[in-house]
A and B are shown apart, each in its own frame.
Chain A
Amino acid sequence: MSMNLERGKAVLSGAQLTDTKKPNLSKILFGAAVITMLVSLYFIFIFAAEEKTMGAAQKIFYFHVSSAWLAFMAFFVTFVFSILFLIKRKRIFDTYAYVSAEIGVVFTIIVLTTGPIWAKSAWNTWWVWEPRLITTLILFFIYIAYIMIRQMDGVWDKKARLASVFGIIGFADVPIVFFAIRWWQTKFHPIVFGEGPSQKGGGIEDTMLVALLVTITAFTILYSYLLHKGVSFEKMKIMVERYKEKLREDLEN
């Protein structure tokens, strides 16, 4: 395995460092994310019916579930690109895996902060050590560790290989988080769809379902924008690193 997989690439010039590739896609995704977010807020606060027992606090559900959806999707993308990296050994796959994991961690933070606020309102406690909450916290720590591996000193391809293995194994926790309330007894975390050993999912009202789907769409577009932005930044960073290397070699010769 070579120490630096990208070394054989063409020599860069300073003019090539400016990111001129597909600026429109970034703008389109940003515009779409803003518009769909505003639409989702309309659906959440105006269109969706208010739940009778929880009142306004139930509206936390839309952002909480959508953030969880985005985090799961981000970790799935990390999982897929980690496998691709280990097979093909192309740096771009590693870049996608890393950026996606970072986005996943950000949205897991939203899940882990909006969840306790919901819990305080519904269960009169901020935190309960029950399966769904524990497995989500573990998921958060797994991907924090993944990012810490990326921040370590050392050759990038060694870090990338280690992180890829971590990204693949870490993904095993995602289905566990999802099925936790369906596999194990829980008095607290509600099942909306499907059923578990201690409760049956009650489903949600039509307007609530529409609002949830619109919010999930908005979050998916936001994820696409953040991923695109993050990957283009990482690509530029790699180019700058290579250019610095070239300058250093020129100065030494």
Chain B
Amino acid sequence: MGYEFMYGAYSVAWVVIFAYVLIIGKRHTKLKKEIEFLKQLEK
């Protein structure tokens, strides 16, 4: 009883958490690329 609600709620929660972790990861990757570019520019 109530399994559809439980699965729904936990799915939403995990999607939000993973999406945020993914966004953080993408921000890091973008910044690292920028750092590499700046290092090349300095050379």
- Please give the residue numbers on chain A whose beta carbons come within 8 Å of chain B beta carbons, in ascending order: 13-15, 17-18, 54-60, 63-64, 67, 103, 106, 109-110, 113-114, 117-118, 120-121, 222, 226, 229-230, 233, 236-237, 240, 243-244, 247
Contact = CB atoms under 8 A, between A and B. Distances in A.
A188 B30 CA distance: 46
B9 A114 contact: yes
Contacts of A67: 13
B38 to A, nearest CB: 6
- The secondary-structure label for the interface of chain B is helix
B12 A110 contact: yes
16 contacts: A15-B39, A57-B1, A59-B10, A60-B6, A60-B10, A63-B9, A64-B9, A106-B17, A106-B20, A110-B13, A118-B9, A226-B20, A226-B24, A233-B27, A237-B31, A240-B34
Given A110-B13, A240-B31, A229 B6 contact: no
Given A59-B6, A63-B9, A14 B38 contact: yes
